[in-house]
Amino acid sequence: DAKTTQPPSMDCAEGRAANLPCNHSTISGNEYVYWYRQIHSQGPQYIIHGLKNNETNEMASLIITEDRKSSTLILPHATLRDTAVYYCIVRVASGNTPLVFGKGTRLSVIA
């Protein structure tokens, strides 16, 4: 079962930052936080991942609290194409442990 808790849905105005929260209070020291998204019924798409430091790439930023019990995915300037279900997943980095998807957050970007 998923080890994370996310709000079921959020709205964001186009052009504004979308901040998607995730709680993972039982995270272990060797577990990473991954974010994926699924646009309509397409295959999930990797966004970003991190262990304890904040991370940024061309798609988003990931802010992880110091105690690692929660994180926030930030889409700095949301567009209509960012409307999707966003999944926060906790996973051990080593080996072949599969990703386990929860229900995620349905983000609607509104014009």
Partner 1 sequence: EPEVTQTPSHQVTQMGQEVILRCVPISNHLYFYWYRQILGQKVEFLVSFYNNEISEKSEIFDDQFSVERPDGSNFTLKIRSTKLEDSAMYFCASRTQRGGNEKLFFGSGTQLSVL
CB of 14 to partner 1, least distance (A): 25
Residue type, 13: A
> CA neighbours within 13 Å on the CB side: how many for 39?
9
CB of 101 to partner 1, least distance (A): 4
CB of 16 to partner 1, least distance (A): 27
Cα dihedral angle (86, 79, 71, 53), rounded to 10 degrees?
Answer: 120
Choose between 16 and 56: whose C-beta lies nearer to partner 1.
56
Sheet containing 70-75: order of strands: 18-23, 70-75, 61-64, 55-56
DSSP 82: G
Choose between 2 and 63: whose C-beta lies nearer to partner 1.
2
CB of 2 to partner 1, least distance (A): 8
Residues at the interface with partner 1 (CB under 8 A): 32, 34, 36, 38, 41-46, 49, 87, 92-103
Choose between 99 and 110: whose C-beta lies nearer to partner 1.
99
